[in-house]
Amino acid sequence: MLINCFITLAMKNETMLLLHISLFCVPPSVISFKLTTLQKDANLTSLEERLTNLEQTIERRLAVTERVIGQLLTGQADENLETLDVLSLRSGVLVPAFSPILFSAYKSFDESGISTKVTIRFDETYINLGDHYHTEDGIFIAPVTGVYMFHWTIATGGTGFTTQLMVAGSVRASSLVPYPGGRDSSSAMVIISVNKDDHVWIQIYGSLKHVYGGSISYGKYQSTFSGILLQKT
């Protein structure tokens, strides 16, 4: 809208000079509307920023609260409420959820002439949760420190010998496989403490020994090796 605006100037010589200026002027109502809109936009932006800051503060406080509650319930410094199974209660104590660690392996083929202190390789598995048992070399690597149970069965038809459960290069348990006078098997079970990253395997103590293996079909002799984590320590 074009509005004519007149400006009158008083001069020092008491003469009056009238200037006529044509301006593109905005009506007062329009100016008022724009100022109000700008103010509302500024208020809205400020409100959004406050809400964002409030949301971030709440998230930080919730994370701290979850960590503290998890530590109080389990007594573990690294526990968090998000990692707990709130439906698992034992004697009124909340038990942290964790993935089970276990394996059960077997030897799928016969092997003769095994030398002393050679690892028996159980090359197939029934189950191997976590993939901590390695079929390529017959070794289980403990992913955490804890109490483990191990069980092994050796089927043979040759002379008697001893099998040994090795943990980190040391003998932790042994089992005698007596001369059967035919085909037979011998089993052993042990519960021991194992440290994280320890290597666990079964080896023969004796020379030129024979170990039977086979499939799960009826009439086959099987040699097996199993382990499970009972409790983390």
pLDDT tier, 23 (very low <50, low <70, confident <90, very high otherwise): very low
- Whole-number Å distance between alpha carbons of 124 and 201: 15
Residue 148: strand pairing partners: 192, 229
157/117: higher pLDDT: 117
Average pLDDT over residues 85-105: 66
Q: Name the phi and psi angles at 50, rounded to 5.
A: -65, -40
pLDDT at 85 over 80: no
pLDDT at 165 over 50: yes
What is the percentage of the chain residues whose pLDDT exceeds 70?
65
202/38: higher pLDDT: 202
pLDDT at 20 over 50: no
| Tokens coding 5 | 């605006």
Cα atoms in the Cβ-side hemisphere of radius 13 Å centred on 233: 12
pLDDT tier, 164 (very low <50, low <70, confident <90, very high otherwise): very high
pLDDT at 200 over 90: yes
Q: Is 32 helix (H, G, I), strand (E, B) or coil?
A: helix
Residue 92: strand pairing partners: none
What is the pLDDT, as a whole number, of residue 8?
43
pLDDT at 145 over 60: yes
